[in-house]
Amino acid sequence: MMRISILIICLIHSVIVFSQNTLKGKVVDANGMPLNKCHIDWNAYCATTNSDGTFELQNIPSGSFNLRVKLDGFQTQDVFVNVPETTFVEVVLFTEDEMLDELVISTNQPKTYNGISVKSNQIKDNFAGSLAKSLENVAGVTAMEIGSGVSKPMIRGLGFTRIAVTENGIKQEGQQWGADHGLEIDALQAEEVEVIKGVGAIAYGSDAIGGVIRINNEKIPQENTTSGNVIFHGKTVNDALGASVNFQHRNENWFFKAKFSGVDYADFKVPTSEVNYLNTKIPIYNNRMKNTAGDEYSVYLQGGYVSDSFQSILSVSNLKSKIGFFAGAHGIPSVGAVADDGNYRDVGFPYQTVNHFKVTSSNKWKKPHSEWNAIFSFQQNHRQEWSLFHSHYSNQTAPSVNPNLELDFVLNTLDSQVNYSFETGLNHETTFGFQQNYQQNNVSGYSYLLPEYNRNNLAFYANHQWFVSSKTTLDFGARLDYIDMKTQGYFDSILYDYLVSNGKTETVAKENAQRSSDVHKTYLQTNFAFGLSYVMHPKWKWNFNVGTNFRAPTAMELSANGIHHGAFRHEKGNPNLKVERGVSSEIGLTFENGNFKSTLSPYVYYFSNYIFLKPTGTFSVLPHGGQVYEYSQSKALITGFEYALQQKWNSFTLNATFEYLYNKQLDNPKGNYPLPFSTPINLSAELSYAFKDSKITKQSKVYINTKWASAQNRIAQNEEKTPGYTIFGAGLQSEINIGKLKPVVRLQGNNLLNTKYYNHASFYRAIEIPELGRNVQLMIQIPF
Amino acid sequence: MKNIKTQLFSLLFVSIAFVSCSDSDSSELDTQKPTIAIQSPTDHQEVEPGSNLNIKALLQDETALTSYKVEIHSAGDGHEHRTAALDNSIPFTYENVFQIEGNPKSHQIDYSILIPENAKEDHYHLGVFCIDAAGNQSQQFVEIFIGHEHNH
């Protein structure tokens, strides 16, 4: 049987070979410069361009088909040819930087998932301090703010460990520490960001339920070039002053990049004169949140070797920041601590320091139809909270070493990933992958919050893409995960003695003094995904995907027990939590006609056991305790849609996005409440006017924008309702031609009417701290 | 073009139908927090060590009250008012949780506690926390001074 099939294949092949054709062509870049070493292929036929950009495919059969043209650093393109009518093709490849809507031909196979690419220039256009905040213009993304310059991204109301943020393929760790921990990524240094909403579990595993924010900082500079730029920026809302420099060089095979950034900011301004913490009215002098100043410095070094068949890139980065906590809201509400001392730039107690260090080595072996990838990474997250020694327990004394170090976390993570992908013909691509992630978390400080833990995650996955036709792509994936989680118990004898001396029974004292318990859990998980993309019509494209996803319970969720001062409540873990599991599905529908483009993406997530903090209705015996919140599981439904549209009329462009989110618990005996932190219905729109280029200015535009959000009255148990709001902004930007220097100037104003409003996803909402007031921001970027 | 727009709107409509669920459930959910009105002590009231402190508060909820907690703790947050450093005074703390029988819509707290003779003279926070049947919680604080409040 086998022999017969081989014979048949040979016969078919020989028939094809009889109709021999030769196709010649040339590949150039957007400036018409020939591109060397481009890979051109169709089925088993392939060629590589010479130094003059030309190639030749011999002995190809007659027929019409798509040639795929690939080069690192450029967007892959499929070119339709009809042999033997076509004898010569000229292909223009655009760099990944160049905007997609400037492409004339874009016959790339569409992706089966909803991915939104954000180029580094767009991040600079929308720069708002943190990366999460800068991505807010992407439909479906919101930033959960936890103080000045600190924010966490959320996709469709899912945040924290329900979304994954990866840099060069490696997941950014540290989010497990809880809500008041931001993302240690310098927005100005991100070269390219892709927001993948929905199904991401196959390639990223646990945590990628809501989506993935994929940062790529491994863009390879073009051969024999040296370039760089300097950025200066400042803003009025917190008197921030910052600078960023980056430099890159490549000869034929070796390249090097260096990036440095620094920013220093003062207490931020809010349009309010008092906030409310535990019913204590805390005055805000001169609309400045006392002690919210800080700074952040980062360095990024990267070197690599690139050749046709092999590339290896080593990246080292370190980000360091110091951020004050609003003193009135840490520990005991304190009117005295917020008094204006005439200095807005100093950081006093309490404050946090964060240091994030990461080394990544990524390696690639390429053959025309297969590729090996191996990535190894070590990252260390070190976070400290400093606060003048204080205790709620009268019997606790300050430690002799570092008496004011309240909390200290060191999380070490080792990652290794290997995958192999190969093409079978032009129509099939299969990937097999292995991932390992090992974590160790150590804690110290006079206070206690999060347990020490060791976590090991091993995973195997496979993915198969089938390019059924130039219109249809199918995607199948499966993944197996094994997770081993061990948390270390901690008994707080100071608390025990305190509770006993206050007349609590031994049982109650023991229960509360056991701040975390020894928990050892293993989880075995299988997940599946299916994706489909279909080009219905040149103007209509849609994709559909459905998949299971999961998230392993975190150390906090399994074994925390005590007051979390960042969240202002007593939180209790539950060692019996099962892996959070869900099924999600979404549709992406894009219609594009000339100057009009619109994308609609409805989605639905169903969780059989969504993990969240539920109020128990029972009081905590701890001072300031309020009621105990316990991590519990419930069936839950999340659904909604995002709609984005773009319309151009001559020099005017309108961009608008609309988001609708609906969610609820499905089996809460007290009623099917919505989930906490649900994004309200919101709409943002921006109208811009592009000026014609002049001798001095290029690509100039002015814009006005607005964001409207409805009131959020659908709240979880014991959450606060949030009123709706409308805010306005405006800006202008231009590239200015002065001799050799061509600076790009961006001036923007946000919340121009200084509106007092609240973000439903803000932790500071609980103590009535509104969002930032009026902000005018200037950024000057000078390329060289 | 018109045809396309019609298609577009119908698709938008279909997708809204796809995601819209009945919202009728929300109206039945209890998201209203209980209210607390502390009548005694009053803000900045002084209490002598060794005397009785009368605690009076009115709790109300539109569905059902389940429990409340009264707590007194030091508000000495570096805001020093120490008069006698070498005495035997100790920071006073008090905490008590009460179940409210029969889940009424309104409940009057009225009882006294004895402030010990050796309670440290200081600023204190007196807090009343209250939870309703759905788990909604509210709290109210007043600041009191045990002993005599000294001028700065």
Task: For residue range A149-201, list pLDDT tens digits in order.
Answer: 567 788 888 887 888 889 998 998 876 566 566 778 888 888 888 888 876 66
pLDDT confidence bin for B22, thresholds 50/70/90: very low
The pLDDT of A416-440, averaged and rounded, is 92
Place of tokens 């900045």: B44
Between chains, do B15 and A641 touch, taking CB under 8 Å as contact?
A: yes
**Residues facing A506 on adjacent strands:** none
In this predicted complex, what is the ipTM?
A: 0.76
B33 at interface of A, judged by CB pairs closer than 8 A: yes
Contact list in A for residue B93 (CB cut-off 8 A) is 394, 502, 623
Contact list in B for residue A593 (CB cut-off 8 A) is 1, 4
Facing residue for B134 by CB, picked from A392, A598, A670 = A670
The rounded distance, in Å, linking the Cα atoms of B37 and B32 is 16
B81 at interface of A, judged by CB pairs closer than 8 A: no
pLDDT confidence bin for B149, thresholds 50/70/90: low
B63 at interface of A, judged by CB pairs closer than 8 A: no
The strand pair at A163-167 and A211-216 is best described as parallel
Contact list in B for residue A619 (CB cut-off 8 A) is 67, 69, 97, 129, 131
pLDDT at A396 over 60: yes
- Tell me the residues of chain B between 122 and 141 that have a Cβ less than 8 Å away from chain A: 125, 127, 129, 131, 133-137, 139-141
Counts of helices then strands in chain A (DSSP H, E): 7, 42
Choose between A299 and A172: higher pLDDT.
A299
The pLDDT of A205-221, averaged and rounded, is 86
pLDDT at A270 over 50: yes
A18 DSSP assignment: H
Nearest chain A alpha carbon to B30: A717
Nearest chain A alpha carbon to B133: A617
Output phi, psi for A768, to 5 deg. Answer: 60, 35
3-state secondary structure of A390: coil
B35 at interface of A, judged by CB pairs closer than 8 A: no
The pLDDT of A368-376, averaged and rounded, is 92
Between chains, do B140 and A279 touch, taking CB under 8 Å as contact?
A: yes
| Consecutive H or E run containing B81 | none
For chain A, percent of residues with pLDDT exceeding 70:
91
Lowest mean pLDDT, pick from A172-186, B9-23, B92-106: B9-23
Q: How far is B19 from chain A (nearest CA, A)?
A: 5
> Angle A18-A20-A22 (CA atoms, 0-180°, nearest 5)?
170
Listed as own residue / partner, the contacts of A53-56 with beta carbons closer than 8 Å and 24 or more positions apart are A53/A26, A53/A27, A53/A28, A54/A24, A54/A25, A54/A26, A55/A24, A55/A25, A55/A26, A55/A27, A56/A22, A56/A23, A56/A24, A56/A25
Rank A637-651, A764-778, B111-125 by mean pLDDT and report only the highest.
Answer: A637-651
The rounded distance, in Å, linking the Cα atoms of A642 and A500 is 54
pLDDT confidence bin for B83, thresholds 50/70/90: very low
The rounded distance, in Å, linking the Cα atoms of B116 and A328 is 30
The strand order across the sheet containing A63-70 reads A45-48, A39-42, A63-70, A77-83
Instruction: Pull the structure tokens for residue A585.
Output: 């599905």
Between chains, do A394 and B129 touch, taking CB under 8 Å as contact?
A: no
Name which of B21, B137, B142 to mutate to probe chain A: the one with the most chain A Cβ atoms within 10 A of its Cβ: B137
> Which of A215, A182, A177 is closest to A196 using CA atoms?
A215
Question: What is the distance, to the nearest Å, from the Cα of residue A365 to the centroid of all Cα atoms in its chain?
Answer: 27
pLDDT confidence bin for A258, thresholds 50/70/90: very high
Give residue A76's pLDDT.
79
For B14, residues 6+ apart whose C-beta sits below 8 A from its C-beta are: none
Between chains, do B31 and A715 touch, taking CB under 8 Å as contact?
A: yes
Q: Are A690 and A666 in contact (CB under 8 A)?
A: no
Within 10 angstroms of residue B144's Cβ, the number of other Cβ atoms is 22
The pLDDT of A698-725, averaged and rounded, is 92
Q: Are A656 and A685 in contact (CB under 8 A)?
A: yes
The rounded distance, in Å, linking the Cα atoms of A352 and A177 is 13
Within 10 angstroms of residue A522's Cβ, the number of other Cβ atoms is 11
Between chains, do B25 and A615 touch, taking CB under 8 Å as contact?
A: no
Q: How far is B138 from chain A (nearest CA, A)?
A: 9
The rounded distance, in Å, linking the Cα atoms of A689 and A705 is 12
Facing residue for B67 by CB, picked from A539, A619, A643 = A619
| Average pLDDT, rounded, for chain A | 86
Single-letter code of the amino acid located at A734: S
Instruction: Pull the structure tokens for residue B112.
Output: 């006294």
Between chains, do B141 and A640 touch, taking CB under 8 Å as contact?
A: no
A158 DSSP assignment: B
SS3 content of chain B, % helix, strand, coil (to 5): 15, 45, 40
**Residues facing A599 on adjacent strands:** A590, A644
Q: Are A687 and A702 in contact (CB under 8 A)?
A: no
Give residue B91's pLDDT.
78
Output phi, psi for A303, to 5 deg. Answer: -140, 150
Q: Are B108 and B98 in contact (CB under 8 A)?
A: no
pLDDT at A99 over 50: no
Output phi, psi for A108, to 5 deg. Answer: -55, 145
Between chains, do B19 and A660 touch, taking CB under 8 Å as contact?
A: yes
Tell me the per-residue pLDDT of A542-578, one tens digit each, with 9 for 90 and over. 889 899 988 999 988 999 898 876 666 889 999 999 9
Name which of A280, A291, A332, A572 to mutate to probe chain B: the one with the most chain B Cβ atoms within 10 A of its Cβ: A332
The rounded distance, in Å, linking the Cα atoms of A484 and A475 is 30
